[in-house]
Chain A
């Protein structure tokens, strides 16, 4: 068999600081995301599920950048069981784009509209719109407000992905009527321990003692705080708040502190952090400190704010049972993708954004809320000094935002696409990646 006639293998990777992978290349079944719902880990899972439906299996390559020598690629191929040409799909921020040399590299763009820096410094990828020259093209989940370029400034060829590529993992994992949120790990800020989250998985669950799926299934919750919040004498409404930890200039911390300071304690938050690096996880205890410092009754406030993640998509559709609505930070470069994921789960997403023009809910959002305040964060990063601006909600307008949410209920999630429908939607992309399928 000639190389051209061989079927290429698709390898997928995300930015990671983890070193605990068991091998240089892993089957997708061993993909263990910190947060399966949102962020680049969710995008990777959705893409892999969609391609699998089209008959293309992916493999996970944790660190493509370190396997540049032909001997390394030969070892990777040997582990894959075939001497195939390699296609590498890279997820994550442009600034973290990495290459597998000797493969066809494509960048999958999940975010958009990165804010301009005020002092780029010398980092070649500081601006957020450049990719390494060996990146052959871009696959985008939606229209990009600014094109992605190579280092010389040439626009890279960009293909918009089919809708199925954004939710295939959720569709394939959906079980109609299922009420158990398998894989959900929730801790209140009062309970939060970084070690449990770092361990992740079952260890994290054991440490939290708080599998919320039991509540959705009618079983008593083992998390005292979550149980009290949802079933106590004055049950609280929980609002989901996706939290992009790779976007430190966002409004999540600001909204959380403002809600904690409200006199009326009728709503709680379920923060859903994503794009979690080991350092970014420090953001959670930092937020707890902010809440402690900003409120009169810090312990009560901390017990009403939860941090959650879904390790696998199986129970995602039941999430709307405890959080029928979600606020989405309009300044988050991944807001569009997050809204589409929420919509797929039946959760009413409210986009919080500013601007002079009246806001219309973008695709995936059930409503838009006009933010009346602004904040800016100055960041010193390896990519240069950045001033990130975001539109937020003032304390006095927070009630209006909560009222908007009260008028929106979770809808039954749209019926999941069948594997056959997904396969048919994803096949053109599969053919583009792997021309011999045509």
Chain B
């Protein structure tokens, strides 16, 4: 990130807001998920900022305009649990998307497009090319869906945004996109201010039993099996630290834990709390001795950044985009090698207090470079440049 120049979000938003011949439309379909992880978290962060900095932004789902109040309500809840029903019965709807012919309409899709060719300037945000490059980690129906929409999305884009240089390189290397038409807009990280206070109220200065944390949907791509095998081969890790593996159960993954680890699970040295909400995630991240992210493939690696933002050291695989998110703050390991994972864990766990403090600071420094403001500013800057050039 260092060396990249991004204008301030305020400045970019002001320029766009001052041009009455432009209107921005934001696709809220990712917010319709009940549990927000990954893409919905990104979409929510962008929607929050748009409501603040470009309050005239209009929201849509497919071909229907959505009332901003319903978007705000979902953002407050950190969940889209009420949106689908409100959309179905029409309470959330302002009616069909109707574009003013006197204005240039920009359609910003934070994920795959549900409609194409509607807006004068169109773009979407590509989070990864996993279904193309690592289809073995996905269900057939999911691959079919993405293959069908991705090409059409890219072909109908005026510019394509992606969450990391790794994704940009994949778009260029596999799909021959012109690098000039692909803009990297890194994900950001932020937490509601109330979380810190709430955590202090609950925990204060009490000592927390050390634990290692892994966050993420349990699916083969996340490589949980290697982490469990590492613990199985080095049970001494569990003598000093518990292992918490948080996240909903995904696909292509047995619901049953590894039988060899059954004893550790029975003794609660390994804990699977399932899906955790935003505050629970914050609390787990803040209290962890370190986080582990052994994934085989990611488009960005938001949990890595979330960990670093709270000064919690992260041990991550050096696959795909993870070194880009983690920078020099993370300790990296080979995602195939149990011994290398063990080495990396020991690096973090064996650090003395001074080294721990230095690493915590390095973590925060790394995370500070990634903000949602910066992401949205990057996106709006490019969209503005494209749109201004097309105004009569």
Contact = CB atoms under 8 A, between A and B. Distances in A.
Contact of A121 (B147, B169, B174): B147
A143 interface: no
B334 A24 contact: yes
B147 A21 contact: no
Interface in A92-117: 98-99, 101
A67 B319 contact: yes
Contact of B225 (A19, A72, A152): A19
A217 interface: no
Interface string B52-74: 00000000000000000000000
Contacts of B296: 19, 63, 66
Given A22-B336, A23-B340, A134-B173, A69 B318 contact: yes
A105 to B, nearest CB: 9
B166 A69 contact: yes
A75 B143 contact: no
Contacts of B135: 382
A315 interface: no
Interface in A10-56: 17, 19, 21-24
A371 B373 CA distance: 67
Interface in B136-176: 136, 140, 143-144, 147-152, 166, 169-170, 172-176
B324 interface: yes
Contacts of B151: 122-124
Interface residues of A, number: 33
Interface string A387-408: 0000000000000000000000
Contact of B173 (A66, A67, A99, A122): A99
A63 B335 CA distance: 11
A151 interface: yes
A68 B132 CA distance: 15
Contacts of B175: 124, 132-133, 151
B173 A132 contact: yes
B318 A72 contact: yes
A233 interface: no
B169 A68 contact: yes
B147 A67 contact: no
Nearest to A135: B173
B147 A123 contact: yes
Contacts of A98: 133
A68 B166 contact: yes
A382 B138 CA distance: 11
A17 B321 contact: no
Contacts of A70: 323
A30 to B, nearest CB: 12
B176 A151 contact: yes
Given A71-B332, A122-B148, A133-B173, A66 B134 contact: yes
B89 to A, nearest CB: 34
Given A75-B334, A132-B174, A66 B297 contact: yes
Contacts of B223: 19
Contact of B321 (A62, A69, A123, A382): A69
Contact of B318 (A22, A62, A75): A75
Contact of B334 (A23, A65, A152): A23
Interface in B105-146: 132-136, 140, 143-144
Contacts of B332: 71, 75
Contacts of A63: 296, 336
A372 interface: no
B144 A72 contact: no
B337 A66 contact: no
A382 B144 contact: yes
27 contacts: A19-B220, A19-B223, A23-B334, A23-B337, A24-B336, A24-B337, A65-B133, A65-B134, A66-B134, A66-B296, A66-B320, A66-B335, A68-B170, A72-B323, A75-B318, A75-B332, A98-B133, A122-B148, A123-B151, A132-B175, A133-B173, A133-B175, A134-B174, A382-B135, A382-B140, A382-B147, A383-B147
Interface of B: 132-136, 140, 143-144, 147-152, 166, 169-170, 172-176, 220, 223, 225, 296-297, 318-324, 332, 334-338, 340
In the A-B complex, the 5 residue pairs with the smallest Cβ-Cβ separation, listed nearest first, are A71-B323, A122-B151, A151-B176, A66-B319, A133-B176
Given A22-B336, A68-B166, A122-B152, 12 more contacts: A22-B338, A24-B336, A67-B318, A69-B323, A70-B323, A71-B323, A72-B323, A122-B147, A133-B174, A134-B173, A382-B140, A383-B147
